[in-house]
Structure 1
Amino acid sequence: MTSVDPMFGWDLTFKTVEKDIKRNSDVLVSFIHWNLTKRGFRTIGIGDERTLTGDEEKSELLPAGWNDKENYTLRYVLDGKLFILHGLNTDGNLIVNLMKCEDLAVSNIALKIDDAVKEVKGSIEKMIPNHKDLMFSIRRDLIDTIVGRIMVTTETQTSRTPSSRGLPVDPLRVPSRPLPQPDTPNLWEPPAGVPNIGRSDLDPFAPLGGGMLFNPFGPNRDIENPGLGIPGGLPRGSVPPGARFDPFGPPGGPMPGRRPNAPDADHLPPPGFNGNDMFM
């Protein structure tokens, strides 16, 4: 079994235009034309007219006058769609654009003419030494960019069509069920294990009392660390370790059944003050 020669058809194509070749860029355009015809494109003449009448004669040959001007403008048809090939000679480069007139999609390729084409006659190896790399670039950047776009779109739409033959469904494509939402918590009540401190400052309907100040006489006082001076003890951390502290009253608070003693005001009263010994 013999493999198909990737250059099959080039010699015949070049023979039909060999007498018209005038410059190196002509060789490149004829080579691009051959690659297009291998993919099913057919020429319908020169120019940039963007409408089809349906009476155009399709051909695998380059039309007459294809290289009469410095730049190139060729019209092609593929699957009933009109394409226009523009070749622009500028500063030793050939910039080629292929436009699909239906949606104005454009692909392009830029070639340095003298680096790509070494001879205007002879075998393909002499004219375009890197013809294999050039074929790959033309197919990838100029043709497949537009023709492949149609194919990918069709395949994508086909793959998204729901199956009606009972084929297995990809579980990754099945939308997950929404998780049940928990009951709305009571935002006024503190979480479990957290003292109910400060609720009256947050809830306008809360009963009086409480607030952000901790009540040292409340049931939540720290019995094991009573502190000094106030009945029931000070809250933990009120007196830093090692600090000098003047107790408010007898250690441990008043005796049961007795009122707390008045504070001991050991400062001097103001001049002329005849009241009791309390300044404040």
Structure 2
Amino acid sequence: MAGLEVLFASAAPVITCAQDALVCFLHWEVVTHGYYGLGAGDQPGPNDKKSELLPAEWNNNKDLYVLRYESKDGSRKLLVKAVTVENSVIINVLEHGSQQVSDLTLNLNDYIDSEHLLDFHRVYKKSEELRSRLVSGIITPIHEHWVKASESPHQEFPPATAREVDPLRIHPHHPHTSRQPPWHVDTGTVRGSTWQSKVSSVPAFWPEDQKRSPRELEGINEIDHRNGRVQKATP
């Protein structure tokens, strides 16, 4: 954790409570991920300057800490707020460009030893766990959202493609032009070389039989496929 001890030593004269120590750790984590501190408060001030140290008056309000940061390449700006609620600190981070917000709640007793606030080697408990929670809870979500927003240009479909994928598009109706045959064959089964048909009162089985009356077709239930003629069923 290079740099944290130096930062703590510079801030130690004004650290008076557990949340001071936690915000100091938070500031160091933000700085190690490529940011400079600009100043305290919501709005820019005349004394703002890029620095890895905590700005003046950073802990004047023990219930609400407000710090502003800018990435070293100048592409991103963060507004960090830490609110004290009983024995917890709620951290809220806003990235100005994307308006992405991330939040994290930490229990002070889990990570800060209030009995040794001025001893760097004893004030922080479970430092690796604290760092992991800060990274996964606020640093990584902000970074990933910013990268996604900057690397995903808006895609437009060409007119033809847009019409093809339009779910509301009504396809043109093509009416059937072929005439249906004036006859039909009832379902049946094939036996040998003949079709065993269920006889019903239909106009005819084949075109040449259309002139036959229903009475003449009674008892016809066999079609000879070899010569295309309708024959009487064999008893």
Whether the TM-score (by the shorter chain) exceeds 0.5 is: yes
Q: 1:89 to 1:235 in 2, by over 3 A?
A: farther
Q: Which amino acid aligns with 2:69?
A: Y
The structure with higher relative contact order (CA 8 Å, sep 6+) is 2
Q: 1:217 to 1:113 in 2, by over 3 A?
A: closer
How does 1:101-116 map onto structure 2 within 5 Å?
A: 101-116=96-111
Instruction: State the shift of 1:195 in Å.
Output: 1.8
Instruction: State the shift of 1:32 in Å.
Output: 0.5
User: What root-mean-square deviation, in Å, do the aligned CA atoms of Structure 1 and Structure 2 show?
Assistant: 3.4
Answer yes or no: is 1:142 the counterpart of 2:133: no
Give the 3-state SS of the residue equivalent to 2:92 in structure 1: strand
- 2:65 corresponds in structure 1 to 72
Superimposed CA distance per residue, residues 153-179 of structure 1 (whole angstroms, 9 cap, x where no aligned partner): 44445xx9xxxxxxxxxxxxxx9xx9x
Query: Could you tell me how far apart the structure 2 residues matched to 1:231 and 1:27 are?
Result: 108
How does 1:84-123 map onto structure 2 within 5 Å?
A: 84-119=79-114, 120-123=117-120
**Higher share of residues assigned helix:** 2
- 1:218 corresponds in structure 2 to 204
Query: Aligned match of 1:59 in 35, 51, 64?
Result: 51
Instruction: State the shift of 1:148 in Å.
Output: 2.9
Contact 1:216 1:233 in 2 (8 A): no
Query: Could you tell me how far apart the structure 2 residues matched to 1:40 and 1:122 are?
Result: 27
- 2:29 corresponds in structure 1 to 35
Q: 1:99 to 1:187 in 2, by over 3 A?
A: same
Report percent identity of matched pairs. Answer: 23
Query: Aligned match of 2:216 in 227, 231, 244?
Result: 231
Structure 1 unaligned runs (5+)? 1-6, 161-174, 179-183, 198-213, 221-228, 237-251, 253-280
Which of 1 and 2 has greater Rg? 1
Contact 1:44 1:63 in 2 (8 A): yes
Query: Could you tell me how far apart the structure 2 residues matched to 1:216 and 1:104 are?
Result: 75
Q: Which amino acid aligns with 2:60?
A: D
Structure 2 unaligned runs (5+)? 156-160, 165-173, 187-199, 207-213, 222-231
TM-score, normalised with respect to structure 2: 0.64
Instruction: State the shift of 1:103 in Å.
Output: 3.6
Instruction: State the shift of 1:235 in Å.
Output: 7.3
Count of paired positions: 181
Query: Could you tell me how far apart the structure 2 residues matched to 1:117 and 1:21 are?
Result: 12
Contact 2:67 2:80 in 1 (8 A): yes
Consecutive aligned runs of 4 or more in structure 1 exceeding 6 Å deviation: none
